[in-house]
Amino acid sequence: MKTASPANGKPPSFDPADSQRIEISSPKEWAAGIPAVISAYKNVTSKAGPFKGTRLLSDLNQIEGFDCPGCAWPDPLNKRATFEFCENGAKAVADEATTKRADGAFFAKHSIRQLCEKSDRWLNDQGRLVEPMWLPEGAEHYQPIAWDSAFELIAKQLNLLDNPNQAAFYTSGRTGNEAAFLYQLFVRKFGTNNLPDCSNMCHESSGVGLGETIGVGKGTVSLEDLEQAEAIFVFGQNPGTNHPRMLGTLQDAKRNGAKIVAINPLDETGLKRFKNPQEVSGVIGNGTALRDLYLPVKINGDVALLKGLCKALIERDNKHQPVLDHDFIEQYCHGFDEFKADIEQTSWQDIQQGSGLSQALIEQVADIACGSKKTICCWAMGMTQHKNAVANIQLMTNFLMLQGNLGKPGAGVCPVRGHSNVQGDRTMGIWEKPNPEFLDALEQEFGFNPPRDNGVDAVETVHGMQQGQIKVLFALGGNFFRAMPDHQANEQGLSQCELTVQVSTKLNRSHLYTGKQALILPALGRTEIDTQVGGIQTITVENSMGVIQTSHGKIPPASDLLKSEVDIIAQLAHYTLKNDSVNWIALRDDYRLIRDHIANVIPGFENFNQRIDALGEFVLPNGVRDARVFLTATGKANFMVHSIDNVEVSEGCLLMMTIRSHDQFNTTVYTNNDRYRGVRGTRKVLFINKQDIAELGLHSGQKVTIRSHWPNDKASVREVTDFALVEYAIPRGCAAAYYPETNDLIPIDSVADKSNTPAYKSIVISLHASG
């Protein structure tokens, strides 16, 4: 029986020092400019030191440098500016290159119980993990362990299982292609498809939605397309914070005449005005106004809005205005008549009620769509983390199809990915539902029978652990415990596991909520030089637009004991799979050999090594983008019928979304500030409409308890306490708070239809005065 975790099963939500010094001011009217440059340099130089910090920034996103460990926004193809990074990329680099260390002495000093009391920010602030650590059953402290012993321990536990499906192998999206390919090969040779990943919490709804509609789960546009577009719709995305260099691309598009529409319950600063730090005018001038139109859609109101937008186009077309691309619909699409009939039957009243937007405003968006021959829809988590997220994605795609905006320059779908290699990990086969062609190719190349049954996704992993069906959780990066909803369900599941293993760079809460035994395996980060027997290694990643790029670590590793992710996986396989036909150690010694296998297995990677040797990057084929080929069941792009099923919010309740601040990377919290939204010193805030505050009999600044409501919830009460109300421009009935501190409010069963993504952005809450 493990006793280390705190008895109440609840991670402390916040810094004890938090909310002592709240400062609230108006949201900023422009993004980037000088404050972003200062913040970038301050971060790297203070954490990594002036010399190493400056060196790192000069290599960031350069062709011979390393790929930014931040988001998946692409770099310009075959050309780079001197400074090809943003403020938040610099923060991600600084966080990895920190000179602080969480070593054996640190763990000897702090028990698990004590560490559980610390905030996420404090944990991350302790610095890099530098030696393998082991938490024996019943122990209060992690203790150092030799690498060999760690591998032996894992191999023994894995081989003790009754069947391979009792283990699950999670991946976070920072893992490079070579490690990802090797990992899925090992997992499948071990005998399971249990490969949950952070995509399950992120763009899974995009993959599922696009797969059914256009036959490819990825975006269909390049940076050049965005620059050429005549209209760009940005749905449910906050690029000023989460993909900052996208603002530069939007600025280019705007200068070429594009109209930009922002669809978001919050009028996010980054989309208002951009001062490009790379331009003199961005430093001393007023910058560029980006969005032409802002639509304050209600949380979860996008299905209604999109149906309204399609209705406006169809109504105009019915009046013989040349609006729809009938040739495209005729030649390339399926299901138009049914779609059209459904849209015509949907009333403007339902559309207005469901979206919270007037018909007049939706007609204005339709004007922009009609004035454009090349339209792109971009989106991120505001669309994918709802119960009806797949409907969101499919209706966005259908809206584009009405005007033939797929598979032509300047037009298409653009899901903007999160982690720097989350898209590449999927391409490499990190997927619990692999397609048969991929498995066939794997079988052919490696001469084994890969398992054919689907494995578990992230939510199913928690269920599996709770039910005692999953006994080992191995995580390649990430912070599974903190990133997932419902800590109660998670802790219950994890504590029943025989073993949990985290391959990590920094300390986080997943190291504290563990199985009976736990291991921390410290890995090299993206910035660090990766030396193997065969010399210094290069890795590759795939950005959000299907471009494969190389990445070369530049600084010496934080410790001699660190291993690369490839090394860790290769040794894990070597120890676990006895007498295996694959020479794992040879693959570890020279990553080029892994790439040769990838070239043989995955379409689009032919001559992989040769191509990266020549140019350092190449573009993967994309049937929709390149030739309007739709690999769907009908062989065409499908129109999909969806009804407006808004989440039901009862009287006196609000619908809350969980969002990122400007100073965090997912569960890694850098500071308690959110510069653009005007919040300093605290993350314990709830953004809410002024009139809702008054109607609920509360007042601005007041501390409240937030309680969530879910039909037939297994937990008796889900609540977080002492949140300060911040009056904010947000539609009535809507509220917003930061992730991950509010993840406990979300039951594990609250998920998107079909994609099973946690509905992190549709939480029904009530507010209760504190004290």
Ligand X SMILES: Nc1nc2c(c(=O)[nH]1)N[C@H]1C(S)=C(S)[C@@H](COP(=O)(O)OP(=O)(O)OC[C@H]3O[C@@H](n4cnc5c(=O)[nH]c(N)nc54)[C@H](O)[C@@H]3O)O[C@H]1N2
Q: At 138, phi and psi to the nearest 5?
A: 80, -5
Is position 70 an interface residue for ligand SF4 (rule: CB under 6 A)? yes
Tally the C-alpha atoms within 13 A of residue 365's C-alpha that lie toward its C-beta: 29
In the bound complex, what is the minimum distance in angstroms from residue 202's beta carbon to Mo ion? 3
Residue 240 or 733 with smaller CB distance to Mo ion: 240
Residue 215 or 296 with smaller CB distance to ligand X: 296
In the bound complex, what is the minimum distance in angstroms from residue 245's beta carbon to ligand SF4? 4
Sign of the C-alpha dihedral computed for residues 114, 118, 120 and 126 taken in this order: negative
Q: At 197, phi and psi to the nearest 5?
A: -145, 175
CB 747 within 8 A of CB 682: no
The contacts of residue 22 (CB under 8 Å, 6+ apart) are: 679, 680, 681, 682, 685, 724
Helix axes 302-318, 389-402, angle to 10 degrees: 20
In the bound complex, what is the minimum distance in angstroms from residue 72's beta carbon to Mo ion? 9
Q: At 285, phi and psi to the nearest 5?
A: -95, -165
In the bound complex, what is the minimum distance in angstroms from residue 506's beta carbon to ligand X? 4
Burial grade of 41 (CB within 10 A; 0-12, 13-18, 19 or more): middle
In the bound complex, what is the minimum distance in angstroms from residue 174's beta carbon to ligand X? 4
Q: At 548, phi and psi to the nearest 5?
A: -90, 130
Residue 68 or 343 with smaller CB distance to ligand SF4: 68
Which residue is it, tokens 């890694």? Answer: 668
In the bound complex, what is the minimum distance in angstroms from residue 89's beta carbon to ligand SF4? 3
**107 is in the binding site of which of ligand X, ligand SF4, Mo ion, none (Cβ under 5 to 8 A by kind)?**
none
**37 is in the binding site of which of Mo ion, ligand SF4, ligand X, none (Cβ under 5 to 8 A by kind)?**
none
Q: At 295, phi and psi to the nearest 5?
A: -115, 105
Residue 241 or 571 with smaller CB distance to Mo ion: 241
Site for ligand SF4 in 521-540 (CB under 6 A): none
Distance CA 149, CA 571 (A): 12
Could you give the dihedral angle defined by the CA atoms of residues 725, 729, 731 and 733, in that order, rounded to the nearest 10 degrees? Answer: 10
Pairing of strands 167-171, 412-415: unpaired
The contacts of residue 399 (CB under 8 Å, 6+ apart) are: 306, 309, 310, 313, 369, 377
In the bound complex, what is the minimum distance in angstroms from residue 71's beta carbon to ligand SF4? 3
Site for ligand SF4 in 457-496 (CB under 6 A): none
Is position 88 an interface residue for ligand SF4 (rule: CB under 6 A)? yes
Is position 86 an interface residue for ligand SF4 (rule: CB under 6 A)? yes
Which tokens in the block code for residue 194? 């249990």
Q: Give the binding range for ligand SF4 (CB under 6 A) out of 66-74, 256-264, 343-351, 533-541.
A: 66-74
Q: At 60, phi and psi to the nearest 5?
A: -70, 120
**245 is in the binding site of which of Mo ion, ligand SF4, ligand X, none (Cβ under 5 to 8 A by kind)?**
ligand SF4
Q: Give the binding range for ligand SF4 (CB under 6 A) out of 80-88, 448-456, 633-641, 725-733.
A: 80-88
Residue 42 or 463 with smaller CB distance to ligand SF4: 42
Region at 287 (left for phi over 0; alpha for psi -120 to 50; beta for the rest):
left
Contacting positions for ligand X (CB under 6 A): 70-71, 88, 172, 174, 198, 201-202, 235-238, 241-243, 263-266, 268, 297, 299-300, 302, 380-382, 385-386, 418-419, 476-480, 483, 503-506, 508, 523, 525-526, 565, 657-660, 664-668, 739-740, 743, 760-761
Distance CA 254, CA 155 (A): 55
Is position 73 an interface residue for ligand SF4 (rule: CB under 6 A)? yes
- Structure letter (DSSP) for residue 614: H
In the bound complex, what is the minimum distance in angstroms from residue 412's beta carbon to ligand X? 19
Distance CA 520, CA 479 (A): 12
In the bound complex, what is the minimum distance in angstroms from residue 203's beta carbon to Mo ion? 7
Which tokens in the block code for residue 472? 């080992």
The residue at minimum Cβ distance from Mo ion is 418
Residue 93 or 153 with smaller CB distance to ligand SF4: 93
**664 is in the binding site of which of ligand X, Mo ion, ligand SF4, none (Cβ under 5 to 8 A by kind)?**
ligand X
Which tokens in the block code for residue 19? 């909310």
In the bound complex, what is the minimum distance in angstroms from residue 92's beta carbon to ligand X? 7
Distance CA 239, CA 660 (A): 11
In the bound complex, what is the minimum distance in angstroms from residue 579's beta carbon to ligand X? 28
Site for ligand SF4 in 24-63 (CB under 6 A): 61
Contacting positions for Mo ion (CB under 5 A): 202, 418
**525 is in the binding site of which of ligand X, ligand SF4, Mo ion, none (Cβ under 5 to 8 A by kind)?**
ligand X
Question: Which one among 32, 40, 56, 71 touches ligand SF4, defined by CB under 6 A?
Answer: 71
Site string for ligand SF4, 228-247 (x = CB under 6 A): ---------------xxx--
| End-to-end Cα, the chain, rounded Å | 37
Residue 301 or 407 with smaller CB distance to ligand X: 301
Which residue is it, tokens 């619909």? Answer: 329
Residue 13 or 667 with smaller CB distance to Mo ion: 667
Residues that bind ligand SF4 (CB under 6 A): 61, 68, 70-71, 73, 85-86, 88-89, 243-245
